[in-house]
């Protein structure tokens, strides 16, 4: 089966060091060679800490940034080679939801105007139907009756309601893929659950494939089918979510799992926690070999000299670690620890 | 046991264009020496405003209407601005969410830490510089001599938070108030900072008041918990009790909507509705419009905190006559 959306060797660079006082300067490779595949109807979580390049990948996927190398294929076709009409079809099929619902809605536009624009551009419904379609979309995202919200401006909505409008805008053009960049990070726990439920319903009812970018591993665990973990511009581990959480096969994934607080005081006090030391290195000057080796408790000499190539793993995933095969010895799989102590 | 900090009936109103917001309404809490206490709730519940009122740092629109803040035997609300400045940053350290807001971008790190020291301690010159170095070392900053010469923008978010903690602990405070200290940080850096705070608590014997929305942090690092909803404390309990036997329906709902790493949730539990408007809070129990267990009296009778000190809930289900 051809994946719906496929990324091969994606690289995206930013110019740095330029500006008013200096010209030129070294570039930063925010994304340094990423391979990803998203199948129809699948939820893929992309996780990593700030600066790992996950947002840059998202922006390249929807065409907001131009890759400096690599290929993005939609339904098997290279998006760079698409003609004008096919390009518009791709842009329509892949829609984005941003993190901050306060920044991503035009404060001068009513909900109706916000939703009518994409409907008009992509000629989804006849002009006379715009109002009814916009109301239907608001109903779909849980703002009902939708007609009652059409003439409101963003400031008249709460944060959670705004994010619902952003989601309505994304699904307005009947896309096949939603790329959601930290869509619940700005929201409170109880509101977050409502929006996550909405994402779950959309992927189930509309068959939408989703790339869900987050730094929150608890969300990954409950929402996604597959997970890809990024570190310094590269994917270090990828695989079925349950398999990765049961036995991470990259030390960085294991460290992320171990660092996440456990909302259970009895277990938390029995688990030995060794926080990962150090800071994420600058992507302008990444360490040689495996980019994670300076912080890795299991690093050996080879890790400083040779960059590990992603290798298929038992369980259907892949890991870019020289010692992935020894994972059962060094990984601290959360599930297993929890079983032992409980 | 004498409390180090004891807040009694603290009430803060915000005077805004839309009316008087009852941001903090009759809040009482206590922190014993060396204890780690959590003040938990969602945004807008009044937890930060409670902390700011205690430290007399609430914004100009806020007015403290009632209450006492007893800290080491003195009521902080009765102190002059000058006396208050001696308490803050001295016996009472503060760590906030966004270190960039509290660090001056134009002043070197060393000078900022030293300023905090010279405000509260007699040491000057070389002696003050040595204390600065010690504070930076204590927060496990590698190469503190070099970092002293840096400006804030040259540090990562985690390092800036360490600097803020260094300033907070430089004068060996007996209480450290931490308002969402790791919310802006990545999870591995959050683990480092929380680990550091736990270490400092053991080293210096400081008590910690952790203000957070993250029940995971509460479970891992705190001894006792106060849960706030709509400006009021709705439950107080030991950390073990609050997770094993939550008394208030709001606490139960909050725990149910908390996701876990070790299992896939079979659905995302939500709390229906929105937190109430605090200009016109609902009559009776403030949680009743969203409460699955509400009954007739919840709409009319304002609940008290029922139970014994340290184990009680503001819910009519726990009222003595209901039992």
* CATH number of the CATH domain containing B270: 3.40.50.300
Test B220 with A219 for CB contact under 8 angstroms.
no
Cβ–Cβ gap A268/B219 under 8 Å: yes
Q: What pLDDT sits at residue A186? A: 79
DSSP B298: G
User: What are the distances in angstroms from CA A101 to CA A168, A200, B88?
Assistant: 12, 19, 36
pLDDT at B123 over 90: no
Q: How far is CA A114 from CA A105, A146, A169, A176, B310, in A?
A: 8, 14, 7, 20, 51
What is the predicted pLDDT for the residue at A279? 80
C-alpha to C-alpha distance for A241 and A244, rounded to whole angstroms: 5
What pLDDT is recorded for position A50?
Answer: 84
- E strand intervals along B32-174: 36-40, 62-71, 74-75, 92-95
- A266 and chain B: CB distance < 8 Å anywhere? yes
The end-to-end CA distance of chain A, in Å, is 42
Min Cα distance B194 → chain A (Å) is 10
What is the per-residue pLDDT for A338?
55
Q: Classify residue B302 by its DSSP letter.
A: P
B220 lies in which domain range?
5-91+171-322
Assigned domain for A194 exists: no
Pairing of strands B92-95, B175-179: parallel
Q: Which of A120-124, A248-252, B30-34, B138-142 bottoms out in mean pLDDT, i.e. has the lowest?
A: B138-142
| DSSP helix, strand, coil percent of chain B (3-state; round to 5) | 35, 25, 40
Domain assignment of residue B164, yes or no: no
Domain assignment present for B166: no
How do A177-181 and A209-214 pair as beta strands?
parallel
- pLDDT at residue A188, as a whole number: 79
Picking from B187, B219, B271, the nearest residue to A265 by CB comes out as B219
What is the nearest CA distance from B118 to chain A, expressed in angstroms? 31
Q: Confirm or reject contact between A307 and chain B (CB < 8 A).
A: no
Domains identified in chain A, total number: 1
How high is the pLDDT of residue B2? 81
H-helix or E-strand spanning residue A196: helix A189-205
* Domains held by chain B: number: 1
Section B161-187 average pLDDT: 92
Q: Do the domain assignments include residue A304? A: yes
B187, part of any domain: yes
Residue A303 included in any domain: yes
What residues of A are in contact with residue B219 (Cβ under 8 Å)? 261-265, 268
Residue B29's SS3 state is strand
Rounded-to-integer distance, Cα B134 and Cα A103, Å: 42
Considering only CB atoms, B258 lies closest to which of A189, A275, A276, namely: A189
Q: Search chain B and give the residue with CA nearest A272.
A: B220
Quick one: tokens of B12? Answer: 């803060």
pLDDT at A317: 95
Which residues 63-102 on chain A approach chain B with CB closer than 8 angstroms? Answer: none
Q: What percent of chain B has pLDDT over 90?
A: 75
Q: What percent of chain B has pLDDT over 70?
A: 99
In this prediction, residue B323 carries a pLDDT of: 46
Q: Is residue B10 assigned to a domain? A: yes
Q: Does residue B142 lie in a domain region?
A: no
- Report the C-alpha gap between A105 and A94 in whole angstroms: 19
Distance of residue A287 Cα from the nearest chain B Cα, in angstroms: 17
A188, A221, A264 ranked by CB distance to B219: nearest: A264
A86 Ramachandran zone, left/alpha/beta (phi>0; psi -120 to 50): alpha
- Domain for residue A52, yes or no? no
Q: How many Å apart are CA B41 and CA A178, to the nearest integer?
A: 31
**Is it the case that residue B132 has pLDDT exceeding 60?**
yes
CA distance to partner chain A, nearest, from residue B69 (Å): 29
Instruction: Write the CA distances from A266 to B234, B237, B242, B257, integer angstroms.
Output: 23, 15, 12, 19
CA-nearest residue to B159 within chain A is A279
Q: Mean pLDDT of residues grouped by 10 in chain A (342 residues)? A: 91 72 64 93 93 91 91 92 90 92 90 96 94 96 93 92 95 96 84 90 92 93 96 96 93 90 87 75 86 92 94 94 89 57 48
Long-range contacts from B145-148, C-beta under 8 angstroms, 24+ separation: B147/B109, B147/B110, B148/B108, B148/B109, B148/B110, B148/B113
CA-wise closest residue to B147 among B128, B123, B166, B170: B166
The reply to whether residue B259 touches residue A242, judged by beta carbons under 8 angstroms, is no
Domain for residue B241, yes or no? yes
Bridging pattern class, strands B207-212 and B175-179 = parallel
Look at residue A175 and tell me if it is in a domain: no
Give the separation between CA B172 and CA B166, rounded to whole angstroms: 10
**A221 CB within 8 Å of a chain B CB:** yes
CB A8 within 8 A of CB A175: no
pLDDT at site A342: 46
Q: What is the per-residue DSSP string for B199-259? A: HHHHHH--EEEEEES-HHHHHHH-SEEEEEETTEEEEEEEHHHHHHS--SHHHHHHHHT--
Among B187, B215, B257, B287, most A C-beta atoms within 10 A, so best to mutate, is B187
A221 to B260: CB separation less than 8 angstroms, yes or no:
yes
Within-domain flag for A78: no
CB < 8 Å to B254, chain A: 189-190
| Distance of alpha carbon A70 from alpha carbon A79, whole angstroms | 11
Nearest Cβ partner for B262 among A200, A265, A334: A334
Per-residue pLDDT at A192: 87
CA distance B280 to chain A (A): 17
Contact A265 B186 (CB under 8 A): no
Task: Compute the count of residue pairs across chains A and B with CB atoms less than 8 Å apart.
Answer: 128
Picking from B198, B202, A226, the residue whose alpha carbon sits closest to that of residue B210 is B198
Orientation angle between helical segments A130-140 and A111-121, nearest 10 degrees: 110
Q: Contact B188/A275, CB-based, under 8 Å?
A: yes
Cα–Cα distance, B169 to A119 (Å, whole number): 57
Q: Omega before A145 cis (within 30°)?
A: yes
B129 in a structural domain: no
Shortest alpha-carbon distance between residue B220 and chain A (Å):
5
Tens digit of each residue's pLDDT (9 = 90 or more) over B213-263: 999 999 999 999 999 999 999 999 999 999 999 999 999 999 988 888 888
Per the structure, the complete domain to which residue A271 belongs is given by: 245-342
Check CB contact under 8 Å for B188 and A219.
no
Beta-strand relationship, B207-212 and B19-31 = unpaired
Q: Could you read off the pLDDT of B280-320 as tens digits, one per residue?
A: 999 999 999 999 999 999 999 999 999 998 899 999 999 98
| Mean residue pLDDT across chain B | 92
Residue A218 contacts B, CB cutoff 8 Å: yes
Residue B290 lies in a domain: yes
């Amino acid at each position: 089966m051809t994946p719906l959306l496929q990324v091969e060797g994606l690289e995206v660079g930013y110019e740095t060091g330029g500006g008013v006082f200096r010209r030129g300067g070294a570039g930063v490779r925010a994304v340094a060679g990423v391979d990803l595949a998203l199948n129809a109807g699948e939820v893929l979580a992309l996780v990593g800490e700030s600066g790992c390049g996950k947002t840059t990948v998202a922006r390249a996927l929807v065409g907001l940034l131009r890759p400096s190398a690599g290929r993005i294929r939609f339904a098997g076709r290279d998006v760079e080679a698409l003609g004008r009409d096919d390009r518009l079809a791709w842009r329509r099929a892949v829609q984005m939801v941003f993190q901050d619902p306060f920044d991503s809605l035009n404060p001068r536009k009513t909900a109706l105007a916000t939703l009518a624009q994409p409907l008009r551009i992509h000629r989804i419904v006849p002009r006379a139907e715009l109002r009814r379609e916009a109301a239907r979309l608001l109903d779909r995202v849980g703002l009902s009756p939708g007609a009652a919200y059409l003439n409101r401006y963003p400031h008249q909505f709460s944060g959670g309601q705004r994010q619902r409008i952003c989601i309505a805008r994304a699904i307005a053009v009947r896309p096949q893929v939603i790329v959601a960049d930290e869509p619940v990070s700005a929201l409170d726990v109880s509101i977050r659950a409502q929006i996550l439920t909405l994402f779950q319903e959309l992927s189930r009812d509309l068959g939408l494939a989703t790339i869900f970018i987050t730094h929150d591993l608890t969300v990954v665990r409950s929402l996604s089918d597959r997970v890809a973990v990024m570190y310094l511009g590269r994917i270090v581990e990828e695989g079925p979510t349950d398999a990765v959480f049961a036995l991470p096969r990259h030390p960085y994934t294991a460290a992320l799992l171990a660092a996440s607080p456990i909302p259970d005081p009895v277990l938390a006090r029995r688990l030995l926690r060794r926080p990962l030391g150090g800071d994420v290195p600058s992507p302008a000057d990444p360490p040689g070999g495996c980019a994670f080796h300076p912080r890795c408790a299991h690093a050996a000499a080879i890790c400083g000299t040779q960059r590990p190539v992603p290798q298929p793993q038992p369980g259907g995933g892949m890991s870019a670690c020289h010692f992935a095969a020894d994972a059962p010895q060094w990984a601290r799989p959360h599930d297993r620890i929890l079983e032992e102590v409980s | 046991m004498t409390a180090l900090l004891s807040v009694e009936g603290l009430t803060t109103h915000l005077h805004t264009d839309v009316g008087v917001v009852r941001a903090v309404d009759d809040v009482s809490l206590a922190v014993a020496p060396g204890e780690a206490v959590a003040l938990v709730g969602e945004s807008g519940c009044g937890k930060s405003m409670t902390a700011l009122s205690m430290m007399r740092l609430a914004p100009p629109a806020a007015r403290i209407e009632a209450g006492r803040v007893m800290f080491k035997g003195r009521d902080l609300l009765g102190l002059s601005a000058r006396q208050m400045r001696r308490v803050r940053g001295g016996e009472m350290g503060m760590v906030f969410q966004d270190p960039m807001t509290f660090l001056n971008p134009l002043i070197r790190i060393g000078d900022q830490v030293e300023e905090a020291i010279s405000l509260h301690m007699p040491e000057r010159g070389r002696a003050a510089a040595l204390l600065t170095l010690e504070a930076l070392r204590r927060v496990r900053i590698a190469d503190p001599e070099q970092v002293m010469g840096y400006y804030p923008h040259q540090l990562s978010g985690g390092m800036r938070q360490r600097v803020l903690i260094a300033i907070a602990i430089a004068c060996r405070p007996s209480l450290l108030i931490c308002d969402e200290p790791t919310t802006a940080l990545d999870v591995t850096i959050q683990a480092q900072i929380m680990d550091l705070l736990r270490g400092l608590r053991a080293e210096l014997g400081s008590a910690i008041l952790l203000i957070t929305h993250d029940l995971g942090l509460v479970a891992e690092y705190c001894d006792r918990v106060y849960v706030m909803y709509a400006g009021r404390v709705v439950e107080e309990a030991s950390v073990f009790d609050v997770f094993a036997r939550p008394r208030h329906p709001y606490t139960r709902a909050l725990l149910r909507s908390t996701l876990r790493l070790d299992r896939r949730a079979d659905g995302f539990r939500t709390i229906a509705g929105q937190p109430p408007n605090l200009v016109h809070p609902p009559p009776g129990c403030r949680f009743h419009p969203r409460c699955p267990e509400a009954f007739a009296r919840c709409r009319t009778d304002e609940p008290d905190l029922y139970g014994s000190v340290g184990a009680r809930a503001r819910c009519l289900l726990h009222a003595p006559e209901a039992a």
